[in-house]
Structure 1
Amino acid sequence: MAVKWEWENATAGAVAGFATVAIMHPLDVVRTRFQVNDGRISNLPSYKNTPNAIFTIARSEGLRGLYAGFTPAVIGSSISWGLFFFFYSRAKKRYSGDEEDKLSPGHHLAAAAEAGALVSFFTNPVWVIKTRLQLQNPLHQTRQYSGVYDALRTITKEEGWTALYRGIWPSLLLVSHGAIQFTAYEELRKLLVDFKSEKAKTKDVEVLNSLDYTFLGASSKVAAILFTYPVQVIRSRLQQRPNQDGVPRYADSFHVIKETARFEGLRGFYKGITANLLKNVPASAVTFVVYENVLKVFNLTRKKD
């Protein structure tokens, strides 16, 4: 039964991840382009703000531009959410035995961090390909990737398989993002369940509804973004395609930090955060609403069995 429950968590997470990407992908493209544009790269267009970026991309590149990198985004998000919920539920069960309600914030933090680290190792190549495809635009001087397979083949041929793990260290640091989000989500969820249960004179977790899950998903995401966004900028800049001579624009994370601080200041580490908030706060709300409701369906099915 335990394994079945873990796979139900994975399935719910994968479905939620797919729904999130399908709705919010254009904002992800905008965010990535803002993140890597340090004002010194000639083959990247500049945008005034998020609405201007969406309008400009739609006008010059069409729907294809707004959905650049959509396939790896769908694959990566579905796999990431599925694996995350799978590893997260396993970790919580290992820490709690059969008494999950007694988990402390530290246990939730550890479980989320453990799940995030495992997911990073599995999915980093997908995110490298997604970033490269999203940055392709009409100003590119080098041969563009024709798709996911061509990107994978070209990267491994020209740069070696290790290039698929560029940005892995920031990705591992971004484990804190999931840890912060899930800890905030779990603790807020407990408070909300207790509050609504007390009003309803019951201890049933079913007192929560989709509006509650929307609030929980959105508020926990805001907390995580504010703390970890600079690391996302560092990762995106590391995952760019090398210059025409084959030399990466940034050697490592420290090089990104030094150059960004020198030429752009603190603002450089928060480029694209508006698009990021617009994408991820509603997306997180959608994800958790879908996830919790898919689990409810599984629970009803199990009860009937």
Structure 2
Amino acid sequence: MLIDLIIGGLSGVVSRTMTAPLELYKFQRQNSFIPNSTIRDVLKKEGIRYLWKGNGANCIRVFPQTAINYGTFEFCKQHIFNDIKNDKLKNFMAGSIGGSVSITCTYPLETIRSRLTLQTCHSHYTGIIDACRTIPTMDLFKGLRMSIIGFAPFTALSFSTYFTYKEYLESNTKWNNDIIKVVGGGFAGTTAVSITYPTDLIRRRLQLQNFDKSVPTYNGIIDCIKKIVKLDGIAGLYRGLTASYIKLFPTIGIQFLVMERLNQYLK
């Protein structure tokens, strides 16, 4: 179990750090109403290294989240769903539980990461500690319900489809094994986000309540959905989806590659 936690945590940190600028781009596309937060603004006012701003908070969040996620996934496969013969169903169910448990345990760090990523020139918080002190406790948990609704199936679909894509690529291509893992993981991530994306957009909007005066005010999930649809139509629920594809493909691909490599070395 400890080895699984280490594997999950390290794979999450490596993949997110390597793709942090893409995460910033995705956040900005989802929340384009926040002023002075585009990639161009960041480069002009803060410099290229700030394309990784919020990554420290993200890594503090990602390590326990992906550790708990993968550790729970493996535990459920081996001890709870071990009698299930269908591997795809087993991976789906174990992934669902892993996603639910991990997002619940680390959610306040999700909110802090979102806010640190979208601020410019420390306009709201000087860092993680200041954000913890400043953000009201209730605000740290805004969007948790929607996160569970979305992250459980996202993780379930990622794990269950990854092995399917990997097997297909192994049988139908002559690619290097590492490339197969990255591409298989990338397709798994984009498949999962295609189905669950609106939940991610909604939870980000709820996380940013009281962050900036430019952020619309929502009285819960239903009110958030109504206001987004009223302003932008159904398409508004998919704002930033293309940016999410650009970010998720390499992120999840690298995560599965590192995960499989660490499994080979540590087990």
Provide TM-score, normalisation by structure 1. 0.79
- 2:229 — aligned with what? 261
Alpha-carbon deviations, 1:153-186, whole Å to 9, x = none? 111xxx3x22211110111012111111111113
Deviation at residue 26 of structure 1 after TM alignment? 1.4
Partner of 1:181: 158
Kept in 2: contact 1:243–1:249 (CA 8 A): no
Deviation at 1:45, TM superposition (A): 3.5
Which amino acid counterpart does residue 114 of structure 1 have in structure 2?
A: I
**1:7 aligned to which of 2, 11, 14:** 2
Q: Give me the CA root mean square deviation.
A: 2.7
Q: 1:109 aligns with which of 92, 102, 115?
A: 92
Instruction: Indicate the SS of the match to 1:250.
Output: coil
Number of residue pairs matched?
A: 265
- Matched residue type, 2:197: Y
- 1:226 matched to which residue of 2? 194
Whole-Å separation in 2 of the counterparts to 1:148 and 1:29: 17
Amino acid at match of 2:157: I
Moved more, 75-84 or 58-67: 58-67
| CA shift for structure 1 position 266 | 2.3
Structure 1: distance between partners of 2:191 and 2:201: 17
Query: Paired residue for 1:44?
Result: 35
Q: Post-superposition shift, 1:118?
A: 0.5
Matched residue, 1:66: 51
State the alpha-carbon separation in 2 of the partners of residues 264 and 167 from structure 1.
21
Distance across 2 between alignment mates of 1:235 and 1:273: 14
Pick the structure with greater CA Rg: 1
Q: What TM-score do the two structures reach when normalised by structure 2?
A: 0.89
Please say if 1:82 is aligned against 2:82: no
**Deviation (angstroms), 1:54:** 2.7
- Give unmatched runs, 5+ long, in structure 1: 1-5, 47-52, 200-207, 300-305
Deviation per residue, 1:117-148 (Å, 9 max, x gap): 1001111100100111112126x9xx611110
1:153 to 133, 139, 160: 133
In structure 2, the residue corresponding to 1:249 is in which secondary structure?
Answer: coil
Quick check: 83-92 or 260-269, which moved more?
260-269
The yes-or-no answer on 1:20 pairing with 2:20 is no
Matched residue, 2:112: 129
Tell me, yes or no, if structure 1 residue 240 matches structure 2 residue 208.
yes
Deviations 1:45-68 (A, max 9, x none): 47xxxxxx4333212232354222
Aligned-pair CA distance for 1:96: 4.6
| Counterpart Cα distance in 2 of 1:62 and 1:45 | 14
Alignment partners' CA distance in 1, 2:203 and 2:118: 14
8 Å CA contact retained: 2:139, 2:209? no
5+ unaligned residues in a row in structure 2: which ranges?
none
Provide the rounded CA distance (Å) in 1 between the counterparts of 2:107 and 2:139: 10
Paired residues of 1:145 and 1:151 also in contact (CA < 8 A): yes
Alignment partners' CA distance in 1, 2:12 and 2:197: 20
CA distance in 2 between partners of 1:45 and 1:241 (Å): 18
Taking every aligned residue pair, what percent have the same amino acid on both sides?
Answer: 25
1:211 is displaced (CA, Å) by: 2.0
Q: Distance in 2 between matches of 1:153 and 1:56?
A: 27
Match of 2:30 among 32, 35, 38: 35
Query: In structure 2, the residue corresponding to 1:187 is in which secondary structure?
Result: helix
Find the aligned partners of 1:170 and 1:76 in 2 and give their Cα distance. Answer: 18
Query: Retained in 2: the 8 A contact 1:95–1:103?
Result: no
Residue pair 1:65, 1:137 contacting (<8 A) in 2 also: no
| Corresponding letter in the other structure for 1:19 | V
The answer for the alignment partner of 2:42 in structure 1 is 57
Q: CA contact under 8 A between 1:132 and 1:241: conserved in structure 2?
A: no
Post-superposition shift, 1:262? 0.3
2:143 alignment counterpart? 167
Q: Secondary structure at the match of 1:144?
A: coil
Aligned match of 1:50:
none
Change (3 A) 1:187 1:163: same
Amino acid at match of 2:89: G
